[in-house]
Amino acid sequence: MPTSLLFPFHFISNRLDTFNQDMLERVKASTSRITSATRSPCFRRWSPVVFLLLTTVFILFGATCFFLFEKDPHEMTVRKWYINLGSERRQFAKSISSRIFNDTRNLLIIIDREQTERVQNLLIESLKRYEDKLSIVPPSRREWTWISSFNFAYSLLLTVGGGFKVPATIGSQIFAVFYCLFGIPLFYSTLALIVYRLVSPVLKWQFLTRSRRFLLILFIFGCFILWTLLIGICLYYQVLNNDFWLSILHAFTGSLTVQIPSPVQITTCGILFLNLAATISVSFLLLILLVSLSVFFPKELLLQETERAVEEKLERLTPPPKFQVIVDEAGESKLTTA
């Protein structure tokens, strides 16, 4: 094959190699800058605040997107539901009235159109009262308000399963997948970082031996149980007035991020309260995990390394002592500090 025909392929191959090398160098430079920035004392000091603000903005962004995706389609769904319910009632009332008067062939019953409509309206009213006895729950128009969308976005990151509310539109479902993929690690990393920063000074205490750390774990676990019982009592007096043990069950399942009560049983503000309470419960569990790791893996938590780094920094900041040589009358030299 002539060399002139292979020239374009060689040219493209060289350009690709150059492009790959440039991209590799840029990635290495960006990685080194990010690494140096994360190791800086300023970033270590303000990283919990930065991650907390980032997580808050992420939840607000998710709530706004869910609200925009679901608000109008949900209103249309609610309208169709009520329209279909009314048409089904009227159709059922017509079929019942026609059956009643067709089965009375041997009776002298004369009924006109107005009386027929009156009978059908009475049947419709009777059907409404019968539906009320069946406790049929219609779709709520306030299911996808902004505060409800915020609760949904918050519960997704908290991984609290309810099973009672899912996005209906395709765009919202796709967004929910990527929202969970990026949001759940961000949320729990932020929570773990905040808990670690709060508890790490306590874990560095010299008198906090291994046995005392075991006692600290038991104390934190007791606080978790008391906190969960307090949530259950609040649910019993404010939401579920009929069943105490059901309130306790909902409190423990919510604290363990398993499930929260249905919105039929609890208000929007109540769901927000449960999400915040579950966040505090998860913080207790993360605290138990960190203290347990400090018992068996203190080096991995950088507890001893941090103390050594502080000592080395103090040694660098402390100026070295100055010495001077003094010669006495006998001609002997002595080394003394200045």
**Same-domain check for residues 51 and 192:** yes
Cβ count within 10 A of residue 158:
24
Does residue 76 sit within a domain?
yes
**Same-domain check for residues 73 and 110:** yes
List all residues 6 or more positions away from 72 whose beta carbon is below 8 Å from its beta carbon: none
Number of domains the chain is built from: 2
Cβ count within 10 A of residue 328:
8
Report pLDDT for 188: 94
Report pLDDT for 65: 94
Q: What is the pTM of this model?
A: 0.70
Q: How is residue 143 written in tokens?
A: 């299911």
CB 73 within 8 A of CB 169: yes
- Which of 155, 176, 172 is closest to 164 using CA atoms? 155
Tell me which of 199, 229, 246 is where a domain ends: 199
**Same-domain check for residues 186 and 253:** no
**Same-domain check for residues 135 and 211:** no
Distance, CA of 216 to CA of 208 (rounded, Å): 9
Distance, CA of 92 to CA of 98 (rounded, Å): 10
**Same-domain check for residues 100 and 229:** no
**Same-domain check for residues 189 and 55:** yes
Does residue 180 sit within a domain?
yes
Report pLDDT for 223: 94
Mean pLDDT by 10 residues, the chain (338 residues): 52 63 69 62 79 94 94 87 79 69 50 65 72 70 86 90 76 92 94 89 80 89 94 82 81 82 72 89 92 77 50 54 61 62
Cβ count within 10 A of residue 221:
15
**Same-domain check for residues 113 and 88:** yes
Tell me which of 199, 225, 250 is where a domain ends: 199
Domain that holds residue 75: 46-199
CB 269 within 8 A of CB 154: no
